[in-house]
Amino acid sequence: MIKDYNLITSKGNQLQVSTFINEKLFSSKAIIFVHGFKGFKDWGFVPYLGDYFAKRGFMVVSFNFSHNGIGDNKFEFTELDKFADNTFSLEVSELNELIDSIGNGLFGIEIRSKIGILGHSRGGAAALFSAGMRKVIGAVTLWASISRLDRYSERQKIEWRKKGFFEVLNTRTNQLMRLNLNLLEDIEKNSAGTLNLEKSVRNLNRPLLIAHGELDLAVPIKEAEQIYLWAEKSSTEFYKIYGTGHTFDITHPFNGTNEKFEKLLDETAVLFEKNLTL
């Protein structure tokens, strides 16, 4: 069963939320999926993974960050002004509010266990930051996660400051999508504190699964290796997936699964089943 909600945050922003649950199999455990840059809750594999984990007894919560660019049309970027104004700090604050809402039973389901969090790409960073702030998070899985927020050359930053915005091409939609200067300022202002990925990983103190495609061109696998280097090895698994890339050979619109993606789902399920204790 899938239900859709609109969650209004303390800042007055709207999070579009979907929950997946099989009531006959539900084990009172929950997983949150966190999308990445130019991602959204209805992209490609997300509804499929929601159904997969629901059949394993979890409630799955997927959502759109308020400034991810998705509006009334859940498959197209129509709110480019909001997309331009997004920041990492805003995403982390929204994820924290979503975690609290799940724990408070806002979606009509009582969760009696720790919550699992699964972040893809840039969503992996948000997952790590929030996990360190919320004791209710029992385990973390990173799919193709970034290990650095500052992904821009000095030349790009000079132009960014000069123009007040930076443009990125969405190769799927062929849209030029702006990033306002507040994103760069957020990274620079908070990189030593609340947005320090190394510190978040070293202080995680939770079971962690790092999964990454060997052929990832969007986020090179060396970034997964860097996260693993920071991590506590006794509680961390590094799952390298050979012969696949950033989305594990899944496309949007969704055109079916594959053996490698199914194995990734299985590995992720094992981590959460073992560590989301009641």
Say whether pLDDT at 278 is over 80.
no
Cα separations (Å) of 106 from 2, 97, 102, 175? 15, 11, 6, 36
- In a domain, residue 168? The reply is no
Of 39 and 105, more confident: 39
Residue 128: which pLDDT band, with cuts at 50, 70 and 90?
very high
199-215 residue pLDDT tens = 999 999 999 999 999 99
Give the single-character DSSP code of 235. G
Asked whether the beta carbons of 216 and 36 are under 8 A apart, the reply is no
Residue 247: which pLDDT band, with cuts at 50, 70 and 90?
very high
Residue 197: which pLDDT band, with cuts at 50, 70 and 90?
very high
- In a domain, residue 34? The reply is yes
52-91 residue pLDDT tens = 999 999 999 999 999 999 999 999 999 999 999 999 999 9
- In a domain, residue 186? The reply is yes
**What pLDDT does residue 225 have?**
98
Reported pTM: 0.98
Asked whether the beta carbons of 159 and 167 are under 8 A apart, the reply is no
- In a domain, residue 185? The reply is yes
**Number of domains comprising the chain:** 1
Mean pLDDT rounded to a whole number for the chain: 97
Q: What is the CATH number of the domain that holds 265?
A: 3.40.50.1820
Helix (H) or strand (E) holding 142: strand 137-143
Say whether pLDDT at 277 is over 90.
no
- In a domain, residue 213? The reply is yes
**What pLDDT does residue 112 have?**
87
Q: Which residues pair with 205 in a beta bridge?
A: none
Give residues with Cβ within 8 angstroms of 116, minimum separation 6.
29, 30, 31, 32, 58, 137, 138, 139, 140, 141, 271, 272, 275, 276
- In a domain, residue 214? The reply is yes
**What pLDDT does residue 253 have?**
96
253-271 residue pLDDT tens = 999 999 999 999 999 999 9
- In a domain, residue 167? The reply is no
142-169 residue pLDDT tens = 999 999 999 999 999 999 999 999 999 9
- In a domain, residue 166? The reply is no
- Calculate what percentage of the chain has a pLDDT beyond 90: 96
Angle at 91 between CA 85 and CA 95, to 5 degrees: 155
Asked whether the beta carbons of 16 and 70 are under 8 A apart, the reply is yes
Say whether pLDDT at 231 is over 90.
yes
User: CA-CA distance, 131 to 92, in Å (whole number)?
Assistant: 10
Domain containing 207: what range?
2-155+181-275
User: CA-CA distance, 244 to 17, in Å (whole number)?
Assistant: 29
**What pLDDT does residue 20 have?**
98
**What pLDDT does residue 179 have?**
98
The dihedral sign for the CA sequence 103, 277, 206, 56: negative
